[in-house]
Amino acid sequence: MSHTSHLYLYRPTAKSARSASTRRDTICTMTTPAKPFEFDKALKELEEITQWFEQSDTDLDAGLVKFERGMELATQLKTHLAGVENRIEKIKQKFSAAPAAPAAPTNPNIGPEPELPSDSAGQTDLFES
């Protein structure tokens, strides 16, 4: 996700000399990339909030602020994990859909298995009753 910022230049128009209106021209549009989610950092912060609550002397007002931040972090972590799970499933599907190639012999002195003759005349089936 990225954030787009606009820089505006306000300059008076001929009409603005007589009134309070001004004209707004966009002179530059900047797009700044969003910072990548830092899972480890968010998890560590959530653990620190949890430890803070485990202390016996907690301030109610500060606790409310920390609780809200903890809920934000938990939501972000869940969302990130769900995205990772979806990506793993797509990778698994991609590779399970690909046909498996036959393994080549690792020893160059050993060739492929010989084919059995398709004519079975004169052969007896050992499992025939």
Amino acid identity of residue 10, one-letter, is Y
Q: What angle do CA 44, 79, 46 make, to 5 degrees?
A: 20
Averaged pLDDT for residues 17-28? 49
Q: Which residue has the higher pLDDT, 51 or 55?
A: 51
* Tokens coding 118: 């398709």
pTM here is 0.49
Task: Inform me whether the pLDDT recorded for 95 exceeds 70.
Answer: yes
At 111, is the pLDDT very low, low, confident or very high (cuts 50, 70, 90)?
low
DSSP annotation of 118 reads S
Share of the chain above pLDDT 70, in %: 49
Domains present along the chain, CATH in parentheses? 36-96 (1.10.287)
pLDDT tier for residue 106 given thresholds of 50, 70 and 90: low
pLDDT of res. 34: 77
First to last CA, the chain: 72
